Structure 1
Amino acid sequence: VKKKTPQASANNSILQAQKLVDQLQIEACMERFKISLTAADLVRYCQGHRRSDPLITGISSSSNPFKDKKTCVLL
């Protein structure tokens, strides 16, 4: 097992810190959306697509690929 030298460990810490700084700079430049607008858009989308939403309408047993083909029988 190779042991890291103090220099290698310091270089690794510097690289990690640089990656974090780069990520934070990218996030700082991103355009932010107002929560109220985004929530309203989400509600509008959900209401417009509720007829085709399987979580609301359910899945017919004939078209459900995950339904068990066999039944469990206990003796």
Structure 2
Amino acid sequence: MAQDLSEKELLRMEVEQLKKEVKNPRDPISKTGREIKDYVQAQAGADPLLQGVPEDKNPFKERGTCVIS
């Protein structure tokens, strides 16, 4: 699609996108970083990557062995 548009049209689209983006509310990284850290710490108890998966609920646990003779 972008190949079919002239340079002027592409620049117009870029300006329109930048106008939309400038209206988005921004928060300082000091605030959002703290919020992300607090969220991750609050969810750490239920995170299977940190706590592991209980053996009885692990769908990938080997059920048994196979012997070929």
Greater RCO (CA < 8 Å, at least 6 residues apart): 2
Name stretches of at least 5 consecutive residues in structure 1 with no aligned partner: 1-8
CA RMSD of aligned residues (A): 2.6
1:12 corresponds to which of 1, 5, 11? 5
Name stretches of at least 5 consecutive residues in structure 2 with no aligned partner: none
User: Runs ≥4 in structure 1, deviation > 4 angstroms?
Assistant: 68-71
Count of aligned pairs: 63
TM-score, L = length of structure 2: 0.67
- Report the identity percentage: 31
* AA matched with 1:12: L
- Larger CA deviation: 35-44 vs 12-21: 12-21
CA distance in 1, matches of 2:41, 2:9: 47
